[in-house]
Amino acid sequence: MTATTATAPTMRGGGRNELPPHLDDNLLTPRFYTTEFDKAAKTDLDIARKDFEAMFKEMEADYNLKHFDRKASLERLSELSPEDKAIYESYLVRSVVSEFSGFLLFKEISNRFKKAGRQELGQFFTFLARDEARHAGFLGRALKAEGINVDLPNLGNKRAATFFPLSWVLYSLYLSEKIGYWRYILINRHLNDNPERVCAPLFDFFEPWCQDENRHGDCINLMMRCWPGMTKGFRGKLLSRFFLWSVFLTHTLTVCERGDFYGLLGIDPVLFDEEVIIQTNNTSRNAFPWVYNFDDGKFLEMRVQILKAFRHWRESSGLAKPVALSKFVSLILRQFALPMQKTNAVRYG
């Protein structure tokens, strides 16, 4: 897969590359991955034929086709301070680039399957690409309402693709979709309870959005079941541990360091991060052979220590910086090694 990055958006009333100060190129640089496409094309669907056909029909039905109304206004409902406006727009840019990179990944996988003569699998991933493109288009419209146009179809080629084995791609994709589901649904529930915090109609579409994320995770789970070796024995336990830990760590640092967006919605970012991690860990019992054991509270408590150590490291200078980094690394490695629980996830083969 070709690595690509978003070009600078065209500003209304300005020329290309005229970005607002809060929208730098780092926000417009998604990561892209390549994997073992030839191996993926050998996926044995007969291992889970009935489940695949049921999931295929569900994706083909496209239940959210009419839920994303292209004529709906996405203009902000209320005036925001310059600071809050920048927070909202930064969130939109990060989200649109993430959704569009997901579209490109699924589209590439679909094309590879079709070239290998695996038409069913190719169409299956075309459905996933369709949903991601729809999400990106909606976010793009919300940005245009802010006077910002991210030129998604003409992404530049700045960043080299990172190679991941197929097992890594499936584990990370599953978690990406499921953690996205819990983010969207928890924000949706919060805003339903606190309608005064809804600053834009975009948030009204988070419910169908989270349904798409949930289905996508189920699709990836199905692919994992067709490769039973990925979830068996020591390999399955190690992959479960690594990807749960790395995704949860990234989520904690991202959400809590960008807590201003959640503050705009009236959400405590630390508590939000905790709930998303708990729910994603529980959901992962349906796919992974092992998940973290949160019963003693150590994993969740250690998040606070990790956050403090991370911030201390970033603020340190001179000789204090490597000492602070050492403490941060020590904490995340201790978190990585915390106890796990075996699950009863459905596996074939």
* Amino acid occupying residue 99: E
- Average pLDDT of the chain is 87
Rounded to whole angstroms, the Cα distance separating 247 from 172 reads 8
* Amino acid occupying residue 264: L
Contact 32, 4 (CB under 8 A): yes
- Of the pLDDT bands very low, low, confident and very high (cuts 50, 70, 90), residue 229 is very high
Instruction: From residue 313, give the alpha-carbon distance in Å to each of 224, 273, 317.
Output: 38, 21, 8
What does the pLDDT average to over 47-58?
Answer: 95
77: its two tokens: 């409902």
Q: Report phi then psi at 143, rounded to 5.
A: -70, -40
* Amino acid occupying residue 237: K
Contact 147, 79 (CB under 8 A): no
What does the pLDDT average to over 284-313?
Answer: 95
Question: Beta-carbon neighbour count of residue 331 at 10 Å?
Answer: 18
pLDDT for position 155? 53
Q: Which of 7-11, 54-58, 344-348 has the highest mean pLDDT?
A: 54-58
Range from 146-160, 208-222, 259-273 carrying the lowest mean pLDDT: 146-160
What percentage of residues in the chain have a pLDDT greater than 70? Answer: 88
Rounded to whole angstroms, the Cα distance separating 111 from 119 reads 9
Contact 222, 52 (CB under 8 A): yes
Rounded to whole angstroms, the Cα distance separating 302 from 280 reads 17
Rounded to whole angstroms, the Cα distance separating 62 from 131 reads 9
Range from 24-33, 40-49, 285-294 carrying the lowest mean pLDDT: 24-33
194: its two tokens: 């606190």
From the list 69, 139, 71, the residue with the least C-alpha distance to 103 is 139
90 phi-psi bin (left φ>0, alpha ψ -120 to 50, beta other) = alpha
Q: Report phi then psi at 110, rounded to 5.
A: -60, -45
Question: Beta-carbon neighbour count of residue 282 at 10 Å?
Answer: 14
Q: Does the structure show a pLDDT above 60 at 179?
A: yes
Q: Burial of 73 by CB count in 10 Å (0-12 exposed, 13-18 middle, 19+ buried)? A: exposed
Q: Does the structure show a pLDDT above 50 at 5?
A: no
Q: Does the structure show a pLDDT above 80 at 217?
A: yes
87: its two tokens: 């927070």
Rounded to whole angstroms, the Cα distance separating 175 from 324 reads 30
- The SS3 of residue 19 is coil
From the list 49, 119, 124, the residue with the least C-alpha distance to 348 is 49
